[in-house]
A and B are shown apart, each in its own frame.
Chain A
Amino acid sequence: MLKVTELHKKYPNGTHALKGVSFDVKQGEFLVVIGLSGSGKSTLLRCINRLHEPSHGTINFEGSDITNIKGQPLRTLRSKIGMIFQHFNLIPRKTVMTNVLAGSLSRTSIFKSILGMFSDEEREKAKRFIKIVGLAGKENQRADNLSGGQQQRVSIARALMQNPKVLLADEPVASLDPATSHSVMQYLKKVNEELGVTIICNLHFLSLVRQYASRVIALKGGKLIYEGQPLDIDENWFKTIYGEEAVEVTID
């Protein structure tokens, strides 16, 4: 459903963050992207929903070329791709409900959204997703007063509000403790398996990768150097991806 071909990204300051990355993503996959800090993982995800402009190469989503679309078509595309972030990026001082409802902005008129007039249907839906991520009853709490793991679940619910085909997750558990990390990953797995949403996720811990990924790609210095099954990453591959000095750290 997603096909990335020869993707390059050069930042205005000259950093060449992606150097010809190509890969396919199939419907229903749980694809994990690994690589050292600075290898270009975040850049890759942000090129897919065009938060960053690719410099070269093409991105094909559901059969159409989305590399250069603009305006309304671009917003429609983004609405089909949910995104969750390392630092949650929730709207401060707003309730869980408002934060989740923000996921439906693309199909709400500007006028109504400014007045906060979301339809009952949308509110019901938001409630349902809040329940799915295990936060029922917290609808009217301020989102920034929740714990990190809870905030990340709010942001998953917000992404689900978009009815996404794909969910991009940029190190969703990097600022959480191990137990909370697992709980958030479990919710992502649930979204993947029960709602059939394709997931592309950047991760740092190989133990998480082995547990949740259905397929893995690895970046190094902006190039794709590995593509395969999570269990096939052996000692050698590990050293190639993370460097000779690296020692695997596990998270349980």
Chain B
Amino acid sequence: MNTMTQDILPGENKGAALKKVKAHIKAYIIDVLLWSYIVLAGWKIVYEKAIIGARYSNFSWDQPLLSLGLGFVIALVLFFTRVSIGKAVNGLYERNPEKTVLSEPFTILGYVIFAITFVSGLLISQVSIREFLSESGLHGAKRIFLALFNPNFAIIQDALFAGVETIYMAFIATAVALPVAFILAFFAARNLMNGSRLTMTIYSVVRFLLNVSRSIEPLVWAIIFSVWVGIGPFAGMLALSLHSVSSLSKLYSEQIENISDGPIEAMTATGAHPIQIIWYGVVPQIVLPYLSFTIYRWDINVRMATVIGLVGGGGIGTLLMQYQGLAKWNEVGLLVIIIAAIVWIMDYLSSKIREAIK
């Protein structure tokens, strides 16, 4: 530490000091938030629910504000001791190398926060051994399990058709997504786009859009599309292809970012046109990984298609939802078996194919 400050030039000293102030502010904010959390969770969840046993504790916005105020005070008081987690994560403590981090006061505070969160979690999830083992509960479970293990084979024809629908739906979703993702991936590959400011802007926009659409679950897209185009396989397919475009583009572009520059340089040196450079220098390096990703995606899409069916995306999921709604557990049992078989076969095939083309 000492030698460092000595080496810093006068001009840089200011920068270093500013940095230190910033780190302290950051540390204090972290402490305030942590302490507010401890106060709020300890009071509203642990104290009121567990100790007083209130079922519905009344909530008002004063309470988090009060907690925040208390957090400010507690954090300020403890900021000058060794229990500040904010200071610890910002590296503002001089550490004694002999002592392990695990026995430091701030780590002990960390344990406390973990314990409060764990207890709160149990309370909020309403974990109850009593209900898990209650007689009527166990009885109901037994009935369902018995039914599930006695599948009704009368509906096997419908079930198989629905399964086929799901597989095709997933296939079309993947096939539609493939060319779109193929082209988008070039725009989302940093090493191809870092040439000029314009291309970098395109890169950022494409990346942003892909990230946004990928962070919205296909389940949500399926709900949107089932309102848009009506309940059925088409809505499910649209939801799956949208999600596939964004995740395939990401995987593809990462593959492009990992290719070696050698062949590209060599093709450039022959005087080839940029399109020829991509076709001869880039594409041969990426086709097999692409193929592998795409088959894997189809595999994932089959599974997702099942889930999406539950919200009206068609296929075997929709059938499952209907029988479940009617509490026809023997039929549900058969559907579960068929879904498991499809998933297992797809998984097996896709891993075999991917192995073969490696």
Contacts and interface: CB of A to CB of B under 8 A. Distances in A.
A134 to B, nearest CB: 21
Contacts of B146: none
Interface string A69-89: 000001111111111010111
A108 B270 CA distance: 12
B272 interface: yes
Interface stretch (B81-89, B154-162, B164-172, B275-283): B275-283
A162 interface: yes
A102 B281 CA distance: 10
A89 B270 CA distance: 12
Contact of A102 (B262, B273, B280, B285): B280
A186 B23 CA distance: 64
A106 B288 contact: no
A26 interface: no
A67 interface: no
Interface in A93-111: 93-94, 102-103, 105-106, 108, 110
Contact of B271 (A77, A94, A110, A158): A77
A181 interface: no
Contacts of B275: 110, 114
B269 A94 contact: no
A93 to B, nearest CB: 5
Contacts of A103: 270
A232 to B, nearest CB: 32
A14 B225 CA distance: 53
B280 A93 contact: no
Contacts of A77: 271
A228 to B, nearest CB: 29
Given A91-B284, A110-B276, A113-B280, A105 B262 contact: no
A90 interface: yes
A102 B284 CA distance: 13
Contacts of A162: 270-271
Given A94-B284, A102-B280, A113-B280, A89 B265 contact: yes
B117 interface: no
B64 interface: no
A49 B269 CA distance: 7
Contacts of A137: none
A88 B260 CA distance: 12
B266 A89 contact: yes
**Which among B266, B267, B285, B288 has the greatest number of chain A C-beta atoms within 10 A?**
B266
B285 A85 contact: no
A181 B275 CA distance: 34
B268 interface: yes
Contacts of A90: 263, 266
A51 B269 contact: yes
B38 to A, nearest CB: 48
Nearest to B266: A89
Contact of A51 (B265, B279, B281): B265
Nearest to B272: A105
A168 B288 CA distance: 32
B310 to A, nearest CB: 42
A46 B279 CA distance: 22
A87 B262 contact: yes
A75 B272 contact: yes
Contacts of B288: 93
Given A92-B284, A92-B285, A105 B276 contact: yes
A102 B288 CA distance: 20
A79 B271 contact: yes
A69 B267 CA distance: 18
A106 B269 CA distance: 10
A105 to B, nearest CB: 4
**A-B complex: 4 closest residue pairs judged by Cβ atoms:** A79-B271, A89-B262, A106-B271, A78-B271
Interface of B: 262-263, 265-273, 275-276, 279-281, 284-285, 288
Given A80-B271, A93-B285, 14 more contacts: A78-B268, A79-B271, A81-B269, A82-B269, A82-B270, A90-B263, A91-B280, A94-B284, A102-B272, A102-B280, A105-B280, A106-B270, A155-B266, A162-B270
15 contacts: A77-B271, A78-B268, A78-B269, A78-B270, A82-B269, A83-B270, A90-B263, A91-B266, A91-B284, A102-B266, A102-B267, A102-B280, A103-B270, A105-B273, A106-B273
